[in-house]
Homo-oligomer: A and B are copies of this chain.
């Protein structure tokens, strides 16, 4: 493969000495697995022989596919896989298993015809549909949040009452180990179930899903991430893990849930349920879907924290690249509807429909992240999760048992006060922190009067809960990281506040609850590294703007200090998964690289009118799993073939499936006129090429791509610097960017992987290796 690559580079020399030179200087990519990373040459089949010698890629085309296979089998070649097949988690690698999404419309003839047919009024209808979808997304997200909240409340209440009764009974008679067993067994059972469905049914539902949604909005396709099945597993999983007493929250997963709901509704059908409602067909493409997923994520935040503005900001800060006012308004609308629905339904559930005092799942929640990092076998994952549930219960029990921190019951907000060895009318303060859902513990730490916790209790709790949360974080359960972070932060924040008053002895530092709030903000900010959106979320969740300024300062400080040492949690996980994620800007020192050094080359090009056989071979070639192919002029041998357009694998698949062939004189195949609808119906699960049968006769037919290709793909010259290429790519959400030479001939193709592999490391610019896994 490296040989082939070199051959191509050399062949460029005929064309232009100056420009070919850097190609030669270019170091071969050390980690590029042969045949898949670097696009494989192929070309225009036998016809290419007629191509002009000025065309670099047509020269390549002269190697027939037979020759090529021979070369691949050549024992002198580099081994096809210099890296072992399985290098699952390495932050110096970039995985090739993730495809890109198409956030740039393919403006082919069909698309333009449709757009031109649609008049002003029809566009208004489309616009109204967008708002309707956003409203539906808001309502459904709110309802799902309600469902989670109510079920968790019911189940957790049942569990805590059962255990409390048991503890109360055995405290008097002795034999508290039975209570421990009961508690641990109950937790383990819930988590066992929750972990099982995640590990065996839909592993992508593990964690909070925030990194996955970040990747989706960034333009990376994570398989299964917005499917209905994922939503069902996610919702059940999060209920079970919260009720199972893990150190997790139910708020983060709401973001993922909102996104799935949005992706589903906006398509007007469910592929899993095989139902097509024949509505919203206009929105069946990646660009539109992304916009709705942004709205869904915002609605999720909004439902989780009762923070509609915070939701919009989250969506923008974490996801969007091109700020569009209209989109922002729709997102805002979905957020508002979501929090309103939740509020309304919960108010009805709590008995007063017009109270509207429950804008969010809790006034402080927690999102969590993709797990399955090191334990890979589903069975082991389930065992680990169950173990953690039991250990959590045991650790809590031991701490509560050994705690002598008793507080008067009067004026306290504790839901399930445990008396244990305290005097009558008192409760165990450690139990207030542990024997409760974490949401309620956070609120207790914020609002319980000074003196409700003694420093020893807080210190021990912080320490133990911190380690539990760290361990829990890696489990294969649906869970959020927000609430545990807030809880840990609230505990040490309160401890800090108490210490201050001890040291100074002054009443100036009165309310430890305020310090708990700041500690919670700092801990969470340090973990997820959000600033603007988190400030607003915290402000909205406290329903008090007064704390806005100190929260901002705390979050800004946490971010600056954190960034000195390490990246945020979400970014770390995206990197661990080797996802080709594009950050906001190209690395600062990357001006020394140009498109010529960055691009993949050689590029497989197709001709405007191409043999069906050639197309099938290109698509079937296991060596090339490309998704975009530049289309060039039909070479007539007299002049160089220039770039004419770009066509996607998915489009070719649809064309082949519908047999859109130009008849050969002798055959008389009917040529059916394809419509945009045919492409939309196939979206987003296009069949693989193997499922399409093409007969030997059909292979000899021709396909006219003119109508289907994007006739104006974005291009850059070879001299463009990496930051320039990056900016174009990122701002427009591209998937393929064609690099052309001075004569508009294709010399290379830049894809997401080519850009994502440059990172700023400790010692300057680093180049990540590419891997299949």
Min CB–CB distance A767 → chain B (angstroms): 15
Q: A712-B716, A744-B744 are in contact. Are A585 and B324 (CB under 8 A)?
A: yes
Min CB–CB distance A32 → chain B (angstroms): 25
7 contacts between A and B (CB under 8 A): A119-B589, A308-B549, A317-B328, A320-B323, A329-B531, A540-B545, A711-B717
Give bound CA distance, A312 to B533, whole Å: 11
Q: Is A64 an interface residue (CB 8 A)?
A: no
In the complex, per-residue mask of A265-308: 1 if CB is within 8 Å of any chain B CB, else 0: 00000000000000000000000000000000000000000001
Q: Is A588 an interface residue (CB 8 A)?
A: yes
Q: Which of A460-497 contact B (CB under 8 A)?
A: none
Across the interface, A744 reaches (CB within 8 A) one of B308, B743, B764, namely B743
Specify which chain B residues have a CB less than 8 angstroms from the CB of A340 in the assembled complex.
549
- CB nearest neighbor in B for A111: B591
Segment with Cβ contacts to B, from A143-151, A666-674, A718-726, A751-759: A718-726
Across the interface, A116 reaches (CB within 8 A) one of B556, B592, B633, namely B592
Min CB–CB distance A228 → chain B (angstroms): 30
In the complex, per-residue mask of A536-577: 1 if CB is within 8 Å of any chain B CB, else 0: 100110111110110011001001000000000000000000
The answer to whether A589 touches B123 (Cβ under 8 A) is yes
Specify which chain B residues have a CB less than 8 angstroms from the CB of A740 in the assembled complex.
744
Q: Is A115 an interface residue (CB 8 A)?
A: yes
Binding site for B on A (CB under 8 A): 105, 107, 112, 115-116, 118-120, 123, 308-309, 312, 316-317, 320-326, 328-329, 332-333, 336, 339-340, 359, 531-532, 535-536, 539-540, 542-546, 548-549, 552-553, 556, 559, 584-585, 588-589, 591-592, 595, 633, 642, 644, 711-712, 714-717, 719-721, 724, 727-728, 731-732, 740, 742-744, 760, 764
Q: A123-B589, A333-B556 are in contact. List 4 more A-B contacts (CB 8 A).
A: A309-B539, A324-B584, A542-B545, A714-B716
Min CB–CB distance A532 → chain B (angstroms): 5
Min CB–CB distance A518 → chain B (angstroms): 16
The answer to whether B712 touches A715 (Cβ under 8 A) is no
The answer to whether B744 touches A309 (Cβ under 8 A) is no
Specify which chain B residues have a CB less than 8 angstroms from the CB of A323 in the assembled complex.
316, 320-323
The answer to whether B118 touches A589 (Cβ under 8 A) is yes
Give bound CA distance, A724 to B308, whole Å: 32
Give bound CA distance, A359 to B545, whole Å: 11
Specify which chain B residues have a CB less than 8 angstroms from the CB of A714 in the assembled complex.
716, 728
Q: A532-B328, A592-B116, A716-B712 are in contact. Are A548 and B540 (CB under 8 A)?
A: yes
Specify which chain B residues have a CB less than 8 angstroms from the CB of A727 in the assembled complex.
732
- CB nearest neighbor in B for A323: B323
Min CB–CB distance A628 → chain B (angstroms): 17
Give bound CA distance, A546 to B357, whole Å: 10
Min CB–CB distance A17 → chain B (angstroms): 16
Q: A552-B336, A712-B716 are in contact. Are A309 and B585 (CB under 8 A)?
A: no
Across the interface, A332 reaches (CB within 8 A) one of B332, B531, B642, B728, namely B531
Q: A540-B545, A731-B731 are in contact. Are A591 and B112 (CB under 8 A)?
A: yes
Min CB–CB distance A132 → chain B (angstroms): 14
Specify which chain B residues have a CB less than 8 angstroms from the CB of A589 in the assembled complex.
118-120, 123
- CB nearest neighbor in B for A725: B712
Specify which chain B residues have a CB less than 8 angstroms from the CB of A115 in the assembled complex.
591-592, 721
Min CB–CB distance A341 → chain B (angstroms): 12
Specify which chain B residues have a CB less than 8 angstroms from the CB of A540 in the assembled complex.
545, 548
Min CB–CB distance A748 → chain B (angstroms): 14
Across the interface, A336 reaches (CB within 8 A) one of B123, B322, B549, namely B549
Specify which chain B residues have a CB less than 8 angstroms from the CB of A309 in the assembled complex.
532, 535-536, 539, 548
Give bound CA distance, A123 to B531, whole Å: 23
The answer to whether B531 touches A336 (Cβ under 8 A) is no
The answer to whether A743 touches B642 (Cβ under 8 A) is yes
Specify which chain B residues have a CB less than 8 angstroms from the CB of A552 in the assembled complex.
308, 332, 336
The answer to whether A764 touches B711 (Cβ under 8 A) is no
Chain A to chain B: the 4 pairs with minimum beta-carbon distance, closest first: A115-B591, A712-B720, A323-B323, A731-B731
Give bound CA distance, A542 to B589, whole Å: 45
Across the interface, A724 reaches (CB within 8 A) one of B107, B535, B743, namely B107
Q: A323-B321, A324-B585 are in contact. Are A543 and B543 (CB under 8 A)?
A: no
Give bound CA distance, A715 to B720, whole Å: 12
Specify which chain B residues have a CB less than 8 angstroms from the CB of A595 in the assembled complex.
712
Min CB–CB distance A721 → chain B (angstroms): 6
- CB nearest neighbor in B for A535: B309
Specify which chain B residues have a CB less than 8 angstroms from the CB of A553 in the assembled complex.
336
Specify which chain B residues have a CB less than 8 angstroms from the CB of A531 in the assembled complex.
329, 332
Specify which chain B residues have a CB less than 8 angstroms from the CB of A715 in the assembled complex.
715
- CB nearest neighbor in B for A764: B120
The answer to whether B545 touches A539 (Cβ under 8 A) is yes
The answer to whether B545 touches A546 (Cβ under 8 A) is no
Specify which chain B residues have a CB less than 8 angstroms from the CB of A123 in the assembled complex.
588-589
Specify which chain B residues have a CB less than 8 angstroms from the CB of A712 in the assembled complex.
595, 716-717, 719-721, 724
Give bound CA distance, A549 to B138, whole Å: 15
Listed residue (A545, A559, A589, A731) with the most chain B CB atoms within 10 angstroms of its CB: A545
Q: A532-B329, A743-B744 are in contact. Are A591 and B116 (CB under 8 A)?
A: yes
Specify which chain B residues have a CB less than 8 angstroms from the CB of A321 in the assembled complex.
322-323
- CB nearest neighbor in B for A741: B744
Min CB–CB distance A514 → chain B (angstroms): 15
Specify which chain B residues have a CB less than 8 angstroms from the CB of A325 in the assembled complex.
317, 584
Specify which chain B residues have a CB less than 8 angstroms from the CB of A105 in the assembled complex.
724
- CB nearest neighbor in B for A331: B532
The answer to whether B731 touches A322 (Cβ under 8 A) is yes
Min CB–CB distance A708 → chain B (angstroms): 14
Specify which chain B residues have a CB less than 8 angstroms from the CB of A120 in the assembled complex.
588-589, 760, 764
- CB nearest neighbor in B for A593: B116
Give bound CA distance, A540 to B333, whole Å: 20
Min CB–CB distance A712 → chain B (angstroms): 4
Specify which chain B residues have a CB less than 8 angstroms from the CB of A548 in the assembled complex.
308-309, 540
- CB nearest neighbor in B for A531: B329
Specify which chain B residues have a CB less than 8 angstroms from the CB of A719 in the assembled complex.
711-712
The answer to whether B743 touches A339 (Cβ under 8 A) is no
- CB nearest neighbor in B for A644: B742
The answer to whether A732 touches B721 (Cβ under 8 A) is no
Specify which chain B residues have a CB less than 8 angstroms from the CB of A546 in the assembled complex.
543
Min CB–CB distance A499 → chain B (angstroms): 22
